[in-house]
Amino acid sequence: MSTREQFQRPHLWYRDAVIYEVHVRAFADSNGDGIGDFPGLTSRLDYLQQLGINTIWLLPFYPSPLLDDGYDISDYYDVHPNYGTLDDFKTFLSAAHERGMFVITELVINHTSDQHPWFQRARRAAPGSAERDFYVWSSTDDRFQDVRIIFQDTETSNWAWDSESESYYWHRFFSHQPDLNWESPLVREAVIGVLDFWLDLGVDALRLDAIPYLHVQEGTNGENLPQTHEELRRLRAHVDASYGDRVLLAEANQWPQDAVAYFGDGDECHMSYHFPLMPRLYLALEHGNRLPIIEIMEQTPEIPAGAQWAIFLRNHDELTLEMVTEEERDLMWDTYAPDHRARLNLGIRRRLAPLVENDRRRLELLMSLLLSLAGTPVLYYGDEIGMGDDISLADRDSVRTPMQWNSGHNAGFSKAAPQSLYLPVVADPPFDYKMVNVEAQEDDPHSLLTWLKQMIRRRSRHLVFGRGSIRFLEPANTHVLVYLREGEGETILVLANLSEQAQSVELDLSAFSGFHLVDVIGTARLPVIDERLCSLSLDPYATLWLSIDANQGDK
């Protein structure tokens, strides 16, 4: 029996999930070659289980020249030898499933590596032939002028010259990543083959990388085109008909109105990242004011039943500032990346802990928002222990250094000689692996890791966080963000003091008169709600999760 037949996925599992994003190469090296691999990752599943996450999102691990850390795929059907074999992947997947954990892998279908056999074949094929038409060609480099350049620190055009075919080819990202031509029915068919391969192996969800750019059309900016949505409807229909319980997650770095379109009418992706919310969490923190969050959530349309936002603080890319105004971008850069080396394209190539100057209160505040706002939280590996970054490394490698397990050789990541590691371990204080590592935090009741484990467990006990509605309250004191999560038979009131001073708010909770407020996180003693305004105080950067219960219940 295949993994697919054995593994039961509960209805709406992705809405109850807590996702952990990790690159195989960065987690644990089992064979001492300096690069993390699947056996290493499998050996660390207990750690992830104890952390409390239940879904692992793997960055691309396929054969690739690795010029874009694997997003430049040269073979969709195998594992890069650096990371092990396909059998190692299958072992990992079964081990994750045995623990009731789900696995999300990458479906990178906007582009391939220029080393992919499809591209090698295309550049030699006759113009107009089916093989050639796998990619987008032109005799000039002036078509699609309204399309922006995404990697603007590296690329000057979305066209690159190919001397073999004596033609230009189209690429949104690096020039070694030619875009597939979605006008070609053969491309569609080939992609279905790839999708089937991984879903047949038992993968639970696919992250659709760079999905707004599939189609390109003269006279448009080439993003979110109706034809692209049509492709997604086809993919979804195929997934539903053939697999039922699998999930598509859209990577669409777009304004809320456009991002929401990736859910379709419930007939495109199940999940989509809320990109515009992310920088506004940092902006709200900088201003000590809830308005940036409230404004973007007000602009966020309702999503179809069953759909879910994926929310995040950091990921493997630069902290993107594409979905903010120029003024906000400048403020973010000045505040969070005063050192210009930390800036990349339209973003900031730093990790979470350095962004908030390693201030535990601000780390906890951001993480508790991540775990209580509407959506499925995505944690980036290493942030659970407050890992630092290394901006002396090129591009986004600054935030992709080895996981810090202990204070020993190479932070316990690998037995290799330090100079053989795929990237050096962070060794500079205050993020030095000798200080910041799993072992040091695991047994410390006061560590960030211990705190986060408890918070994830609290969240997981309350289905309302993943499934319920969100309603923002607007008390006069705008330093405090307040929202009600309602559904699944419970109501939780969340308060977050975004400022560095103690604050108090007065809330009209008379609709819940006679109910009790039960502190879900701490031990605060709270009044029974009545008709009067309810006054609550919060320490600097503090958060409260208060369950509104008819009876004084258990925590």
What is the nearest approach in angstroms of ligand BGC to the Cβ of residue 316? Answer: 6
Please identify, using beta-carbon distances, which residue of 125 and 160 lies nearer to ligand BGC.
160
Judged by CB under 6 A, the number of residues near ligand BGC is: 9
Per-position DSSP letters for 245-261, written without gaps between them: S-EEEE-----HHHHHG
Can residue 21 be called a binding residue for ligand BGC (CB under 6 A)? no
* Active-site residue (options: 88, 114, 133, 209): 209
* DSSP at 111: B
Q: Match 């000039």 to its residue by tokens.
A: 140
CA-based nearest residue to 219, from 155, 159, 147:
147
Please identify, using beta-carbon distances, which residue of 65 and 540 lies nearer to ligand BGC.
65
Can residue 317 be called a binding residue for ligand BGC (CB under 6 A)? yes
User: Pairing state of beta strands 19-22 and 376-380?
Assistant: parallel
Please identify, using beta-carbon distances, which residue of 71 and 282 lies nearer to ligand BGC.
71
What is the nearest approach in angstroms of ligand BGC to the Cβ of residue 523? Answer: 41
Find the farthest-apart pair of alpha carbons in the chain and give their distance in angstroms, rounded. 78
Q: Which residue's C-beta sits nearest to ligand BGC?
A: 71
What is the nearest approach in angstroms of ligand BGC to the Cβ of residue 251? Answer: 5
Type and span of the H or E element at 121: helix 117-124
Q: Write out the binding residues for ligand BGC, residues 114-173 only, by CB under 6 A.
A: 173
Do the Cβ atoms of 141 and 170 come closer than 8 Å?
Answer: no
* Active-site residue (options: 16, 231, 251, 397): 251
Compute the distance between CA of residue 365 and CA of residue 496 in angstroms, rounded to an integer.
Answer: 7
Cα four-point dihedral sign 215, 219, 225, 227? negative
- Using CB under 6 A, which of 251, 318, 389, 397 touches ligand BGC? 251
Q: Match 């789900």 to its residue by tokens.
A: 102
Can residue 210 be called a binding residue for ligand BGC (CB under 6 A)? yes
Compute the distance between CA of residue 400 and CA of residue 394 in angstroms, rounded to an integer.
Answer: 10
Please identify, using beta-carbon distances, which residue of 68 and 268 lies nearer to ligand BGC.
68
What is the nearest approach in angstroms of ligand BGC to the Cβ of residue 212? Answer: 10
Can residue 20 be called a binding residue for ligand BGC (CB under 6 A)? no
Q: In what order do the strands lie in the sheet containing 159-162?
A: 137-138, 167-170, 159-162
Q: Give the side-chain half-sphere CA count within 13 A for 342.
A: 19
Do the Cβ atoms of 538 and 495 come closer than 8 Å?
Answer: yes
> Which positions from 30 to 69 touch ligand BGC by CB under 6 A, shown as an x/- string?
--------------------------------------x-
What is the nearest approach in angstroms of ligand BGC to the Cβ of residue 173? Answer: 4
Which structure tokens are listed for 159? 């066209």
- Helices in 413-534 by DSSP H: which ranges? 438-442, 448-461, 464-467
209 is annotated as an active-site residue:
yes
What is the nearest approach in angstroms of ligand BGC to the Cβ of residue 234? Answer: 21
CA-based nearest residue to 441, from 385, 381, 401:
385
* DSSP at 465: H
Can residue 384 be called a binding residue for ligand BGC (CB under 6 A)? no
What is the nearest approach in angstroms of ligand BGC to the Cβ of residue 359? Answer: 28
Please identify, using beta-carbon distances, which residue of 174 and 512 lies nearer to ligand BGC.
174
Which structure tokens are listed for 448? 């960030």
Please identify, using beta-carbon distances, which residue of 68 and 114 lies nearer to ligand BGC.
68
267 is annotated as an active-site residue:
no
What is the nearest approach in angstroms of ligand BGC to the Cβ of residue 445? Answer: 36
- Using CB under 6 A, which of 13, 71, 76, 213 touches ligand BGC? 71
The Cα-based distances of 78 to 6, 61, 73, 184 in angstroms read 23, 8, 10, 24
Classify residue 46 by burial, with Cβ atoms within 10 Å: 0-12, 13-18, 19+: exposed
What is the nearest approach in angstroms of ligand BGC to the Cβ of residue 156? Answer: 17
> Which positions from 514 to 553 touch ligand BGC by CB under 6 A, shown as an x/- string?
----------------------------------------
Q: Write out the binding residues for ligand BGC, residues 76-115 only, by CB under 6 A.
A: 108
Please identify, using beta-carbon distances, which residue of 347 and 468 lies nearer to ligand BGC.
347
SS3 assignment for 512-552: HCCCEEEECCCCCCCCECCCCCEEEEECCCCEEEEEEECCC
Please identify, using beta-carbon distances, which residue of 69 and 162 lies nearer to ligand BGC.
69
Q: Match 């591209």 to its residue by tokens.
A: 119
Compute the distance between CA of residue 11 and CA of residue 21 in angstroms, rounded to an integer.
Answer: 22
Compute the distance between CA of residue 340 and CA of residue 474 in angstroms, rounded to an integer.
Answer: 37
Do the Cβ atoms of 25 and 82 come closer than 8 Å?
Answer: yes
Which structure tokens are listed for 424? 């050096």
Q: Match 């075919």 to its residue by tokens.
A: 165
End-to-end CA distance of the chain: 42
Please identify, using beta-carbon distances, which residue of 212 and 468 lies nearer to ligand BGC.
212
What is the nearest approach in angstroms of ligand BGC to the Cβ of residue 465? Answer: 26
What is the nearest approach in angstroms of ligand BGC to the Cβ of residue 150? Answer: 8
User: Pairing state of beta strands 102-107 and 55-58?
Assistant: parallel
3-state secondary structure of 6: helix
Please identify, using beta-carbon distances, which residue of 319 and 448 lies nearer to ligand BGC.
319
The residues assigned a catalytic role are 209, 251
Binding site residues, ligand BGC, CB under 6 A: 68, 71, 108, 173, 209-210, 251, 316-317
